[in-house]
Amino acid sequence: MDISIIVPLYNEAESLPHLYEWIARVMKENKFSYEVIFVNDGSTDTSWDVIRNLQRDNVQGTKDSTVRGICFRRNYGKSAALYCGFKAAQGDVVITMDADLQDSPDEIPELYRMIKEDGYDLVSGWKQKRYDNKLTKNLPSKLFNATARRVTGIQLHDMNCGLKAYRQEVVKNIEVFSEMHRYIPFLAKNAGFTKIGEKVVQHRKREFGTSKFGLNRFVNGYLDLMTLWFLNKFGKQPMHFFGLVGSLMFFIGFIAVIVVGSMKLYALSHGVQAMLVGVNPYFHISILMMILGCMLFLAGFLAELIIRNSPSRNDYLIKEEI
């Protein structure tokens, strides 16, 4: 099979028939064999009924196409939908796109060519011209992407674009969890897939319904970015972080205690009245730093013990064996 198209959705019943018709036309024009996997993320409208009808109609149609549906019992989020879609995908190239008709299926042939002919592992769409609200979406998106480029080292203008193309090997070797769908290129890079490209894609105005994402996605996005950075840097060696920071804090606190005690002894030896050590705020700050340093050091030890007993401690991605 040439292409798997994964469409995560939540309450998009009105858009689905138009989207599938558009996808089918593009696939037929380019003579692709394909499957469309609709992942219904706990919709409360008639989205699942629409998917059932599309699947039933397709059974009576062309042999080169397949419609598949996955329905969650409740809303789990886009990352969960993509995870299940990636697990089910069978095509040589996997395309992800949103169900709201803001992503154009006309982009699929060029995305497919970039993967198959140009040799990219992943190609991310870039909605250079957007039709979203500039204050609530465009400006925060620019700040978010600038931070993501800085932290990840991946020079993409729109890392969170829903329209992406992947080599099948990529989606089978990454795990999308929590709300990490925003950072799939970073997950792919951490898994060793470094040939990541970008393509300017068309962004269309929403025709039906409303956006399912609020402003909290930017706050969550930054927190998730820090989580991914930490896991990539210290995920298998947590002692390198906690041990280092804990040792530094303990050392600084220990030196500070010595300084406070020395100043007190110096004052007593010269007959100068000095503040009691017990009421000196610097003494308490120093002791606190020593305690926190010990706690961080012990946290590093505990994390190492947990990793040592983890079944995935020696899971390494092997590219090839001969």
pLDDT in tens, 70-122: 999 999 999 999 999 999 999 999 999 999 998 999 999 999 999 999 999 99
pLDDT band (50, 70, 90) for residue 279: confident
**Residue 29 falls inside a structural domain:** yes
| Interior/surface letters 247-285, b for 16+ CB within 10 angstroms, e for the rest | eebbeebeebbeebeeebeeeeeeeeeeeeeeebeebee
Mean pLDDT of 22-26: 95
pLDDT in the model for residue 38 = 97
Q: Are 9 and 38 in contact (CB under 8 A)?
A: yes
pLDDT in tens, 291-309: 999 999 999 888 888 877 7
Same domain, 161 and 214: yes
pLDDT in tens, 240-263: 888 999 999 999 999 988 988 888
Same domain, 255 and 186: no
Q: What is the CATH number of the domain that holds 82?
A: 3.90.550.10
Write down which residue in 210, 234, 258 finishes a domain.
234
Write out the H or E segment, with its range, that includes residue 197: strand 196-200
Split into its structural domains, the chain has a count of: 2
Same domain, 59 and 169: yes
Same domain, 207 and 250: no
Selection from 83, 96, 108 nearest residue 32 by Cα: 108
The amino acid at residue 68 is: R
Is the per-residue pLDDT at 16 higher than 70?
A: yes
Q: Are 191 and 173 in contact (CB under 8 A)?
A: yes
**Residue 317 falls inside a structural domain:** no
**Residue 247 falls inside a structural domain:** yes
Mean pLDDT of 318-322: 67
**Residue 313 falls inside a structural domain:** no
> For strand 93-96 and strand 164-167, is the pairing parallel, antiparallel, or unpaired?
antiparallel
pLDDT in tens, 194-206: 999 999 998 877 7
pLDDT in the model for residue 215 = 59
**Cα 57 from Cα 39, distance rounded (Å):** 18
pLDDT in tens, 48-58: 999 999 999 88
Q: What is the pTM for the complete model shown? A: 0.76
**Cα 115 from Cα 135, distance rounded (Å):** 35
Same domain, 223 and 251: no
**Cα 21 from Cα 101, distance rounded (Å):** 11
At 272, list the tokens: 């100068």
- 82 torsion bin: left (phi>0), alpha (psi -120 to 50), beta (else): alpha
Mean pLDDT of 276-285: 80
Q: Structural domain of residue 44, as residue ranges?
A: 3-234
Decide which of 158 and 136 is more confident: 158
Neighbours of 47 (CB within 10 A): 24
Is the per-residue pLDDT at 136 higher than 60?
A: no
* Rounded percentage of the chain residues whose pLDDT exceeds 90: 51
Same domain, 14 and 45: yes
